[in-house]
Structure 1
Amino acid sequence: MKGLFYTLILLIFLMFGNTLYAQELLPINKSEFVQKIPERKIAYSKIKEANKLYAKGLGYVGKCLDLLLEAYDTNSESPQLNYNIGICYLINGPKDKALSYMLKADSLQANLRSDVHFFIGLAYQYQNKFGEAIVQFKMNQELIQQSNESISKELMNLCNKHIDECRNGKIFIKQIGAEKIELLSGNVNTKYDEFNPFVFSGNFYFSSRRGIESQDQRSVQDNKFYEKIYKAKLTDGVLGKSIALNTKFDKKSNVALLSKYLNNQFVVYADNSGNGNLFYADKRNDKWRYFKPVSFINEKSSRESSASFTDDGKEVYFVSNRKGGFGECDIYFSSRDDEGKWSRPMNIGAEINTEYDEGDVFVTSDGKELYFSSKGHNSMGGYDIFKCNREENNRWGKPENLGFPINSTDNDITFFKDKLGVFYFASERSGGLGGFDIYRQKQKTEPLVVNEEKPVEKKTTASVEKKMITPIATIVIDPPSKLIEKPEKQELALEAFVYRVQIAASHKEMGTVELFKRYKGGDVIEHLFVGGWHRYTIGGFNTYEEAAKYKDSCGVPDAFVVLFKGDYRIGFTHRTGAVK
């Protein structure tokens, strides 16, 4: 049960973004490493150290992973070690690196864990191999429905959610949007998290969780440096050096610049306890002061994590986890009358909010477009960025997924569009410098290609060269051909599944009389012999739900649902042994 509880916690973390309360990794057999080989003895000591770090919490998974990889260099044939490395990559990233380790763990020891197919599916999903991912999720569903554990329903729902995401991903990969994106480099992105891009008055602002080990403090919640606001001069699409802005929240709080509000006032987010709030900030002569709570929004018992005002200051949209929403975090709005009084915040409604998290919200300066992040709707994985247009009746239209390559199978958040129409956002996808990185819409002019250690300058006039301190974009994200799924016929073949209800299995062939003692219905009983077992199934259903409903009504107490691809049963079963 302990292992299943760990799995549920991890799956909830992967799906909802909640804090992962550390559970133990799979135990690794000491004899596999301590074999009178000094290097392996040292490796096993690293494994023990890694387990201790992992037990400290989410913020230590990266260091844990480094130690496990060192141990892997001395013994790569441990299924448990491969599995643990795969789990750490799925948590800490790059998530697409988890696949090879999960596949190897499964090949070294089939049925190592009942959840291994789920995590193989996730790793395939992060590589945009959606067909292969769906196969793994459905195989895991077969194992889940055979379990009598109380968490089965939650795990089944998670599999269904990821299957839906993969089907969405197939569509978006094929319908690549006209927009291309590029990764901001130079002094903006680092191996730490960068997010919340914001452009105002010739300056580019963003938040970063970089820090100086000897000076800056770390959050007790995730062991990362507290986030600070950074600013870089933005001239003709070129960024200057990034510098940290000092605020009264910097020492022991996360702080992020969210929105402009009238004249020289802004709204920032600050948090040091998990229940952050919004504050007004006054900027004068490049100094920030006057941090006053946004009292008509903030609630003591909730977290207000994102906000965006229209340019005229008459509307604000924000994200809160207050009670009464459709999911964990919802989008709310409030409007200001001619006398300056703000209305009571209202939930924006079920057309936009879902049972899953809505993350960040941004409204364009003219109030005609609303952008937000969500794990619901037709997401292709993690948070996707969605857009709503304001209709003539002043209501917001149906959310539209911005598609690939803006959205990915990982988390895509904090969308911002400047007054010239250039958009920016942050993404946790693989291929960046680490953690969340900031991307922007690819500009018409060709970006300057830069080596991180030794910049390569583009030939230009002397006057322009003088301006170019750091290029704003160095990597263009075009849709790579390897990300595009196989031809349609092959994709359909990957999903040619049928669910059947197995009513009996025996090493010896069963007679008609014996079979009909177990099942008295009138359906045709299919006989399949594989792996030394005679298996007897009935029905052919397109969905697991249909098969499960029939299973409960067929009159065979120990019947269960099995998954077939064509005439071949796929997956594993604890009752009769492994069948591939």
Structure 2
Amino acid sequence: MVKQVQLYFIFLFTLSTFSESTFAQYESRGVAFNYVDAESFFNAGNYYDALPLYEILMAENPKVVEYQLKIGRCHLHLTNSPEKAIEYIENIYTSKPKTPDVEYYLGKAYALNYQFTKAIETFEKAAKNSKTSVKLKDEIPLLIQQCKNAIELVKDSVAVEIINLGNIINTIDNEYSPTINADESTLIYTYKGTKSIGGRQDEFNREEVNGNFYEDIYISNKLLNAWLTPQSISDSINSKLHDASISLSPDGQKLYVYNDTRDFSGDIFESKKENGRWTEPQSLSINSEFWEGHAAISPIGNFLIFSSDRPGGIGGRDLYSAVKQTDDSWGEIKNLGSTINTKYNDDAPFIHSDGVTFNFSSEGHTSMGGYDIFESKIINDTGYLQPRNIGYPINTTANDIFFFVSGRGNAYYSSARKGGFGQQDIYVINVNDVITSKPVLLVKGVVKENKNFTNAKITVRTESGKDLGTYYSDISDGKYQFYVDLNDFYVITYEISEFPSQIESIDATKYTQYTEIEKNINFVSKDVNINGIALTRENPISPIMNLKVNLSNKDKTINKVYMTDEFGKYDFSNLPNDEYYLLFLNEEDEKIIVDSTYIFKGKVTMKGIPYSKALINDMPTDEDGNYRLEMKKHYYGVLSGTSSKLDEMSPEDVMAKFGDQTAAGVIFKVQIAAYSNANNYNGKHLTTLGTIEKTILEDGITRFTLGNFSTLRAAKELQLKAIAKGQEDAFVIVFIYGKRTYLDELVNTGVFK
């Protein structure tokens, strides 16, 4: 069983390229050990490291046929140099035609290089040759049939563009088995190379200077259509053994992984994202004492297809189904039958967003060489449509496996094709014209409790009451997403503790093609209290009684007035938790002296607890909930008809009109925090965005800012980057000749036009 685990993750994945850098990765133990190490690498399926050793050996002993044949066989698996397989093996066949098995390997070299007629002729000779081993002769009928299949598939090729994900994701090492969430904002994949936690190990997981690298799982998130630098996913998942990504649920909350087990059988595990962290993977109940290597889960999470080599199957590896039980275990395990499974290997299933279409890889059916990717339909848990090959050039004469498709129709898979950055690279292909899955509706959004992200329970049902699954928003960013069909009406219930449920309805019948809709949910408690005191800045500073203090929110759905008492105090209670409040004066108030400056200072609380980072007139409260404002003419008359010219403009219109304007003395910055005690702020997570500046204003509060920009658009782009790094309350501020002002004041005074 040891060898089997190694071969699954190395033979299938290390269809690698060869370069001179190989020599730098091998630590020579002397000439005497070169052959031992070469054989060790070769027998483990690590052709990338075996090749340079055989080349060293052949340079020293050029007449040794074994070295030449092993070099040729290495090139059969290093798909960036398939033509060299023909070069080496043809040379042996010409000079020493009686070499055992040489015709068999020459046939494979021709097939790999799309010389199918020559391959068939050579395989037929090998089948009759007594020098061909019995085991290899048994494979020849399949290889001949694959060549015949390939001739037809190449004639009827499909038009697709295969795009490399780029050097942020792909390196000189191996990246493969990609999996994504529904909106393609998170990519999880398997990495094998110099950064592997386990380093080089032997087949018993012991450190070995010239052993094989073991797999780890990496994750990257997309920001502004660009992938961020990948990171090791979690110490709770990655270990010194093999850890490989298999499948990610559409909402990105459940990850299925392959783990080595201590008895070397290899099993499928599930990790859940809880409180923003991945849990330690738990073994699925489908696992046996035999090998289970890959799995696909249906969009609503109640049906599973997995691969196993357990006894009683039709071929080597077969596909099986399982149904989620009421206790959340998996049961009712069934072989998918002879429509899907062949007497060869069938592996790597993937279930599409419609819950009906599924792909898998097979060496049988109409494969054109190695594993090919096929499409079928799930009729029920025992019935499936006859598979069809999805075509060339997606499928090739090498192994094509691990195909993961979004609802948008973008397929992510790995390949060692020419033009990559290293060995296995990850590619994306739009397969909307290739795959026949039905279009679906992707429902996504963000759930907040007050202004904080929360872990909401989201239940989806049809209008008739059919349960379509339960989902949870991610507490780290509030995001959720799920698929529904286009042929029904849906009722979505959002629940968090201590709040009444919120219900949304969706009529999906009005959509005819793949569509994404956004439903952002905010649970707002009416427990916010804003109190304070109004002071005049005349000498001496004194409270103002009977002054009408006005309060509104950003959307102006709240409009309240409070008249200060004899101490100048005001108190607004039972407010919803909006992200933005505006305190202002009415210039018609007889207490107002126009053009005078007033000071408002006070505290914001929620449920009696100080409420930090609440926005009052664009200024966040400190960690104790305190705020201090200078009330100038800018904040007079908001309700009396002197509103800003920006009030009726959408954010997009504001950006289009003013985003690129500049003016003398005008500077834009991004405020990321405000603290009365500057030592309480840690901005390490934002240091890659630039130098963090500290400014102490008259109110004694330290403001932390990033950037100095002449345009609003440049500052807005930096704000979005800060938000993506977790500073969700970052906002743009503006100064004119070093004095804090506001965009609408620049507009109202004609600085911006």
Bin for the TM-score computed over the shorter chain: 0.5 to 0.7
Cα 1:203/1:231, change in 2 over 3 Å:
same
- Which residue of 1 is the match for residue 150 of structure 2? 169
- Which residue of 2 is the match for residue 479 of structure 1? none
- Which residue of 2 is the match for residue 84 of structure 1? 70
Cα 1:443/1:159, change in 2 over 3 Å:
closer
Give the drift of 1:375: 0.9
Q: Secondary structure in 2 aligned to 1:343?
A: strand
CA distance in 2, matches of 1:249, 1:214: 11
User: Which fold has the larger relative contact order, with Cα–Cα distance below 8 Å and residues 6 or more apart in sequence?
Assistant: 1
Cα 1:61/1:400, change in 2 over 3 Å:
closer
Cα deviations by residue, 1:241-271 (Å, 9 ceiling, x for unpaired): 1111123342322223333458633322211
Q: Say whether residues 1:232 and 2:220 are aligned partners.
A: yes
1:169 partner letter: A
Which among 351, 354, 360 is matched to residue 372 of structure 1? Answer: 360
- Which residue of 1 is the match for residue 192 of structure 2? 209
Cα deviations by residue, 1:45-83 (Å, 9 ceiling, x for unpaired): 987543221332425644342133245557767655432
- Which residue of 1 is the match for residue 239 of structure 2? 251
Which among 160, 166, 182 is matched to residue 163 of structure 2? Answer: 182
- Which residue of 2 is the match for residue 108 of structure 1? 95
CA distance in 2, matches of 1:406, 1:101: 28
Matches within 5 A, 1:150-549: 151-152=133-134, 154-200=135-181, 202-212=185-195, 216-218=199-201, 220=203, 223-235=211-223, 237-261=225-249, 264-273=253-262, 274-295=264-285, 297-299=286-288, 301-336=289-324, 342-391=330-379, 395-429=383-417, 432-441=420-429
Cα deviations by residue, 1:181-206 (Å, 9 ceiling, x for unpaired): 22333132334332221112611111
The 8 Å contact of residues 293 and 306 in structure 2, kept in 1 or not, is answered as yes
The 8 Å contact of residues 125 and 133 in structure 1, kept in 2 or not, is answered as yes
Give the drift of 1:361: 0.8
- Which residue of 2 is the match for residue 564 of structure 1? none
Cα 1:139/1:464, change in 2 over 3 Å:
farther
- Which residue of 1 is the match for residue 672 of structure 2? none
Q: Secondary structure in 1 aligned to 2:401?
A: strand
The 8 Å contact of residues 191 and 433 in structure 1, kept in 2 or not, is answered as yes
Q: Say whether residues 1:50 and 2:34 are aligned partners.
A: yes
The 8 Å contact of residues 219 and 252 in structure 1, kept in 2 or not, is answered as no
2:72 partner letter: G
The 8 Å contact of residues 359 and 372 in structure 1, kept in 2 or not, is answered as yes
CA distance in 1, matches of 2:405, 2:258: 19
- Which residue of 1 is the match for residue 504 of structure 2? none
Cα deviations by residue, 1:265-305 (Å, 9 ceiling, x for unpaired): 3322211453222222121354211432222x112x11221
The 8 Å contact of residues 79 and 106 in structure 1, kept in 2 or not, is answered as no
The 8 Å contact of residues 53 and 63 in structure 1, kept in 2 or not, is answered as no
CA distance in 1, matches of 2:96, 2:715: 64
1:52 partner letter: V
CA distance in 2, matches of 1:426, 1:157: 29
1:206 partner letter: Y
Q: Secondary structure in 2 aligned to 1:419?
A: coil
Give the drift of 1:306: 1.1
Q: Secondary structure in 2 aligned to 1:159?
A: helix
CA distance in 1, matches of 2:193, 2:278: 21
- Which residue of 1 is the match for residue 123 of structure 2? 137
Cα 1:268/1:62, change in 2 over 3 Å:
closer
The 8 Å contact of residues 51 and 71 in structure 2, kept in 1 or not, is answered as yes
CA distance in 2, matches of 1:175, 1:432: 26
CA distance in 2, matches of 1:381, 1:465: 48
Give the drift of 1:308: 1.4
Q: Secondary structure in 2 aligned to 1:68?
A: helix
TM score, norm. by length of structure 1:
0.62
The 8 Å contact of residues 237 and 278 in structure 2, kept in 1 or not, is answered as no
The alignment of Structure 1 onto Structure 2 pairs a total of residues equal to 407
Larger C-alpha radius of gyration, 1 or 2?
A: 2
- Which residue of 2 is the match for residue 545 of structure 1? none
Cα deviations by residue, 1:150-185 (Å, 9 ceiling, x for unpaired): x53x33332221111111111111111122322333
Cα 1:72/1:158, change in 2 over 3 Å:
same
The 8 Å contact of residues 252 and 272 in structure 1, kept in 2 or not, is answered as no
CA distance in 1, matches of 2:346, 2:278: 29
Q: Secondary structure in 1 aligned to 2:281?
A: strand
The 8 Å contact of residues 270 and 279 in structure 1, kept in 2 or not, is answered as yes
Matches within 5 A, 1:16-95: 49-56=33-40, 57-58=43-44, 61-70=47-56, 72=58, 79-91=65-77, 94=80
Give the drift of 1:84: 3.2
The 8 Å contact of residues 309 and 363 in structure 1, kept in 2 or not, is answered as yes
Cα 1:195/1:367, change in 2 over 3 Å:
same
CA distance in 2, matches of 1:51, 1:260: 42
Cα 1:332/1:59, change in 2 over 3 Å:
closer
1:159 partner letter: I
Cα 1:325/1:191, change in 2 over 3 Å:
farther
- Which residue of 2 is the match for residue 475 of structure 1? none
CA distance in 2, matches of 1:100, 1:342: 51
2:360 partner letter: F
Q: Secondary structure in 2 aligned to 1:407?
A: coil
Give the drift of 1:363: 0.4
Cα deviations by residue, 1:67-121 (Å, 9 ceiling, x for unpaired): 332455577676554323212323555461211011122223332x031111111
CA distance in 2, matches of 1:375, 1:216: 32
Q: Secondary structure in 2 aligned to 1:186?
A: coil
The 8 Å contact of residues 408 and 429 in structure 1, kept in 2 or not, is answered as no
The 8 Å contact of residues 34 and 57 in structure 2, kept in 1 or not, is answered as no
Q: Secondary structure in 2 aligned to 1:189?
A: coil
Cα 1:402/1:48, change in 2 over 3 Å:
farther
Cα 1:362/1:191, change in 2 over 3 Å:
same
- Which residue of 2 is the match for residue 565 of structure 1? none
Q: Secondary structure in 1 aligned to 2:354?
A: coil
Cα 1:465/1:189, change in 2 over 3 Å:
farther
CA distance in 1, matches of 2:420, 2:361: 20
CA distance in 1, matches of 2:254, 2:310: 26
CA distance in 1, matches of 2:300, 2:10: 37
The 8 Å contact of residues 409 and 429 in structure 1, kept in 2 or not, is answered as no
Matches within 5 A, 1:5-20: none
Q: Secondary structure in 2 aligned to 1:414?
A: coil
